[in-house]
Amino acid sequence: MPPAKKRPRSHDPVKIRAAVLAQFGNVREAVRELTAEQLARPAHLGDWTVRELAAHVTMAVESVSRNIDRPEPGKRELALLDWPFATADRAGDIAADCRELAEANPDLDALFARTGERLAERLATASDERLLDARTGAMSLGDHLVTRTVELVVHTDDLNRAVPGLDIPFDRQALAACTRLLADALAVKAPGASTEVRIPPYAVVQCVAGPRHTRGTPPNVVETDPLTWIRLATGRTEWKAALEDAKVSASGERADLGGLLPLMG
């Protein structure tokens, strides 16, 4: 796991809390309207169905409440910028757990309702500095909530692509936080200042070792939109395909990010 040497940008905890609740609500409203046939469709994530993917969304949010209820660990183990690189080790366990959860909860809306109520109740009294014993390592509640914006935004996009016409909206703050965290993770993985990665309107980071740019137009520039960036960072889209589809522009000899992506699986 690359060490998180880069100091993480600050995230407004009030906005992050609101973003998590809003995006979870957006997903719940959409899932409530899905038919049995739509829920049985493949999610194009391994062998998951849309139902199992929806159940996973509740798991991602329930982790906040569950860990608030557990004893607080003695020390922090994970910085926010370490988190994207720590997720792959848990993928197998998560897949099995979400399949079991989907089977045990045929009424998905009731599951979403219970999960949302528990989250709102726990967040009403919990401090952002409280440590949580998360699967990936002990981290603060505030940091863990930022990681929930990634889970919610990524899986909102997964659901939209799995069910034609679903079109779940993205909360702007959730999309911004997700984009920024994954952009900052790239700068951790490839430290340097020779390449500028632009993801308007949310993020600009410098990365990749080489001659440092100081003024004028950078010699190496990558630019893309937030959803394309998120798909690249999480392995939903390949670098070469994004270039061929003109979803990414890349100029300069150090602008090829294909060998650095994805950042998380």
What the chain holds in terms of domains, given with CATH numbers, is 13-175 (1.20.120.450), 190-260 (3.30.1050.40)
- Let me know: does 49 contact 112? Beta carbons within 8 Å: no
CA dihedral 208, 210, 215, 216 (to 10 degrees): -70
When comparing pLDDT for 7 and 211, which is higher? 211
pLDDT over 90 at 173, yes or no: yes
C-beta separation of 51 from 40 below 8 A: yes
Q: Determine the pLDDT at residue 2.
A: 45
Range of weakest confidence among 4-13, 160-169, 238-247: 4-13
Q: pLDDT, tens digit, for every residue of 34-57? A: 999 999 999 999 999 999 999 999
Please write the tens of the pLDDT for every residue from 89-132: 666 667 778 889 989 999 999 999 999 999 999 999 999 999 99
pLDDT at residue 25 in the model: 98
Over the chain, what is the mean pLDDT?
93
Residue 265 has pLDDT above 90, yes or no: no
203: left (phi over 0), alpha (psi -120 to 50) or beta: beta
pLDDT at 232: 98
Helix 50-69 to helix 13-32 angle (10° resolution) is 140
Q: Is 203 helix (H, G, I), strand (E, B) or coil?
A: strand
pLDDT score at 4 = 44
Mean pLDDT of 184-197: 95
